[in-house]
Amino acid sequence: MDEIRLRPHHLLCTQTYSGKGYSDKFVANMDSVTERLRNESDIKVEIVFSTDNVCDSCPFKVREGVCQSDAKVLGYDEGVIKALGLKEGIYSYQELISRLNDYLLLHIENGGLNSICGDCEWYEICNNSVYKLSLQK
């Protein structure tokens, strides 16, 4: 089984993804990626500090390693890197998501998600998902 390559902030995106995206091609790819992540309990991810499998069908990908919104997405990545203490490498997706959820729940009152990606166009959808998660705990 091949691991899925993810940049750090896409850990957030894959958790809160709800079938919306930048284009039909992007949505089809994101559906495929999130389906594997959500259904293969032992799946591994390779954390990369560059473009990844989610970026493959993104209309904003200029070329490998370059996004039209590099400054913004690199900032999002940095927020997740700091929050989870990530390095590039292979991880258990379930273990990363557990760490991410613990971080978000611990920091929900002081805007943990907002501090990472508050200016993202998808922020409200994601923040609502994180809030719902906090109610379940």
Domain ranges of the chain: 4-136
Map tokens 């499998």 to a residue: 53
Which amino acid, 57? S
Say what the pLDDT of residue 120 is. 83
Q: Exposure pattern of 41-71 as b/e (b: 16+ CB <10 Å)?
A: eebbbebbeebbbbbbbbeebeeeeebeeee
Question: Whole-prediction pTM value?
Answer: 0.87
Which of 44, 50, 54 minimizes the C-alpha distance to 13?
Answer: 54
Q: What pLDDT digit, counting tens, does each position of 17-57 carry?
A: 888 888 999 999 999 999 999 999 899 999 999 999 999 99
Say what the pLDDT of residue 133 is. 55
